Structures are given as C-alpha cells and as structure tokens.
Amino acid sequence: MTNESAELDKTIPCSIAADDRDFLTQFEECTLGKTCWSHEAHIRMAWLRMEQFKTYEEALERIRTGIQAYNSSVQSVGYHETITVAFARLIYAKRAETRAGTWQEFLQHHPNLLQKRCLLEFYSKEILASEKARHEFVKPDKKPLP
C-alpha cells in the first residue's frame, strides 16, 4: 500500500453517522472521504452551519465557501449555486419550524430534504439544469422558496 492510498484509507470510513463535531471537522479539513460527500452530507453540513452561525447570511457564506473548498480538494466541479442556496433556504425555514436539538431529530421531522427532487416543487428541471443556475442563484419558476 502506498502512502497515498494509506491516506485515502484514513478518510473513507468517515461514516455519515459520525459525531457532528467530528463530521464538521472532517468537512472543514477536507479529510471527509469523497464517497461520503453525499446529498445527505451536504444537508447535514448545512444544518450544522445554520446551528453554528447567528445569521442566515453568515451561515450561507460558510456553506458556500465550505462546499467550494471541499470540492476543490477532491477535484470536483459539482458546485451548483442555485441548489446550494435553495436547500439552505429550505433548511433555514424548516429549522425555524422544528427547533430540533440534533441533526437526527431534524432529519426525522424533515426526511424529504434528503430527496434532491424536493426542489422540483419550486423549480422546473430546465431551470435547475441551466448553466446560469449552476453559477448564480436563480429564483424559482414554480413557487417561491420559504
């Protein structure tokens, strides 16, 4: 086993069920295994950022920069501004409704957020698939976000 593959092995067993603090540290330090950077991990990280920062704007900025830094560290070009902002808005609104004390509690109340297609309530597929939506926030074309 090479040093590089040994380093990869350290990051892969991150387990999506890891302690929130450990999960966020792995994310921030870009040691979270690439295979663990799932949609659920994105939602969890965003919820944790909302819990961590006082304002939506500050949390959103940390969500954006964190995703971009992580994606860069794993050579991914998958960042999508509209999807990031739309899910941040949904998480922020659902968080205010529920006031869950833990990520697991929040998830029990809002499992639909784990479905990427939940944005189709607000957006057409065409808008979400557009290059413009990938690079800048585009308002929903079906109904307003909360």
Place 90 in a pLDDT band, splitting at 50, 70 and 90. Answer: very high
In three-state form (DSSP H/G/I as H, E/B as E, the rest C), the secondary structure along 12-54 is HHHCCCCCHHHHHHHHHCCCCCHHHCCHHHHHHHHHHHHHHCC
With beta carbons less than 8 A apart as the criterion, state whether 63 and 45 touch: yes
Place 2 in a pLDDT band, splitting at 50, 70 and 90. Answer: very low
What pLDDT score does 19 carry? 86
Query: Whole-model pTM?
Result: 0.86
Give the 3-state secondary structure of residue 123: coil
Integer Cα distance of 63 and 69 in angstroms? 10
